[in-house]
Amino acid sequence: MIEKADLVTQITNCLEDKSLSVFLGAGMSYSASGLDWNALVAPYISQLKGNDSNPIKGLQYYVTQKKVDVISFKREIAQKFVNIKYDKNHMVLAKLPIRNYWTTNFDTLIEDALKEVREQRDVMKTNDSFITAEERRDNVVYKLHGDINEPNAIVILQDDYNNYPKTHCNFITALENELATNTMLFLGYSFNDPDINNIRQIVKLKTSSSQTHFFILKKETKENELSQKYWIDELEKSGITTCLIDQYTEIEEILKMVYKKYMARKVFISGSSCGDYGKFNETEAQTLLYELGYTLIDDFKEQDVNIISGYGLGVGPNLIEGAAEAVANNDLDFGKKILIYPFPKKYYGINSEDRSPELEDHFLHYREKMIDKCGIAFFLFGNKKDKNGNIINADGVIKEFEIAHKNGKYVFPIGPTGGASKILADKVLSNYSKYNKTSLEVEKLYFELNLPDITGDMIIEKICSIVEWIAYGNN
């Protein structure tokens, strides 16, 4: 078995390698639909005199004994999942670079979430879907048991499972290939879930000896504890490692941890300067920014770390110049390592007191979109001139800090660089745990980052260490 912290690290590494797929069971839809297997089948099999403990067989007996029209029955089942809304877990899964999504659920929750964040996606609902698959797509959703929009093809009765190898042979082949080439994370299944047991039987979960998959599973009660252990041992033989949790609400916690750890590899540098660089002179500051951009790319050239910048006045050009040189020297892809959100002249060319509310609101959303792409935010300098030529703190840097903190990003203002960053650093230093939930090692590094005698080289070293700890350590 595997502990949560180790699971988070391994899953995050798979995301970086672009080798993670997920398999979603009914438990991942429960918060939206309120239906688990028992709640779904109870109204039907309760009408039988001898209830079968297997819900799939029970539904088959109900349809056969009551002489129910199968198509009408499946349409009735599908209606129970219409007009339900995806939750935070689906959105996290949609935002992560997951290779493919597999599900035995009839609902469209994961597809709906993906539609919000991905341009191209394909959905395989039936065996024939493989014939008409899109050539250009970001990812695929495989609906192994059908979809509410095609209820006639829903897989729910024992007859459907018996015929599955013939009616869904393309799904079986595709799933076998997926299990052999990628890491699968199983979510929303229980020990007694009929779907996971049927899927295991259909594909037999034969994987290569080098391929490991992960199963998040709720601990059983004392009376079923030994049976669950035996089952987990059998899963291990098929290359599936189990992480036991006390409550299924812990899945949300795990996904949040994975998301934060993966996104910590996306580093946002906020800052601006009209020539005032705090304790540094202009040449020292420009060198610091250039070397920071270069080092963040060069030190993590073999990893998925990249830089995001708003290209702030006096900061962005030097930072990006250094990062771009590191990209070129290491023969990397600029578009994959550096993401720039420049502010147009119609915004920064107008004094903040003269900007219209509409313009401010538009670029507030622009900032939110930019910061949504990162996991860690560092703030340097942060000043500008007002319309009278006086140097004042940059309100844009303060806004970016507030957005980052509100959205759960790690925030690290660097006080010795002066300006707005000094004000923000004083806030964080006075109540670190309010702004960042990190290990003591990272907290210590941050306090060292704000020592008054710190040099430019030391700032770069501490920033890279913080990124290393949060993104790749057991933070």
What average pLDDT does range 113-135 have in this prediction?
A: 82
Are the C-beta atoms of residues 101 and 110 closer than 8 Å to each other?
Answer: yes
Compute the distance between CA of residue 319 and CA of residue 310 in angstroms, rounded to an integer.
11
Compute the distance between CA of residue 214 and CA of residue 210 in angstroms, rounded to an integer.
13
Q: What share of the chain in percent tops pLDDT 90?
A: 70
User: What token pair was written down for 207?
Assistant: 């994987």
pLDDT of residue 201: 75
Residue 223 CB coordination number (10 Å): 7
Compute the distance between CA of residue 165 and CA of residue 172 in angstroms, rounded to an integer.
7
Least confident piece of the model among 37-41, 241-245, 453-457, 462-466 = 37-41
Sign of CA dihedral 146, 150, 155, 159: negative
Mark 419-444 as b/e (b = at least 16 C-beta within 10 Å): bbbbbbbebbeeeeeebbebeeebee
pLDDT of residue 135: 60
What's the pLDDT tens digit per position in 173-223?
A: 999 889 888 999 999 988 677 777 777 777 777 666 568 899 999 998 888
Q: What share of the chain in percent tops pLDDT 70?
A: 95
User: What token pair was written down for 78?
Assistant: 């599908």
- The model's pTM is 0.89
What's the pLDDT tens digit per position in 147-172?
A: 999 999 999 999 999 999 999 999 99
Are the C-beta atoms of residues 94 and 118 closer than 8 Å to each other?
Answer: yes
Sign of CA dihedral 342, 344, 345, 347: negative
Q: How many CA atoms lie within 13 A of 369 on its CB side?
A: 12
Three-class SS of 279-335: CECHHHHHHHHHHHHHHHHHHCCCCCCEEEECCCCCCHHHHHHHHHHHHHHCCCCHH
Please state at what angle helix 169-181 crosses helix 158-167, rounded to 10 degrees.
Answer: 80
- Residue 78's nearest CA partner among 143, 175, 171, 158 is 143
What average pLDDT does range 407-418 have in this prediction?
A: 97
pLDDT exceeds 80 at position 138: no
pLDDT exceeds 60 at position 136: no
Q: Nearest 5°: phi and psi at 308?
A: -120, 135
Q: Which residue has the higher pLDDT, 96 or 200?
A: 96
Q: Which residue has the higher pLDDT, 39 or 400?
A: 400
pLDDT of residue 235: 85
* Bridge partners (DSSP) listed for residue 392: 384
Compute the distance between CA of residue 86 and CA of residue 144 in angstroms, rounded to an integer.
19
Mean of the per-residue pLDDT values of the chain: 91
Q: Is 248 left (phi over 0), alpha (psi -120 to 50) or beta?
A: alpha
What amino acid occupies position 277? Y
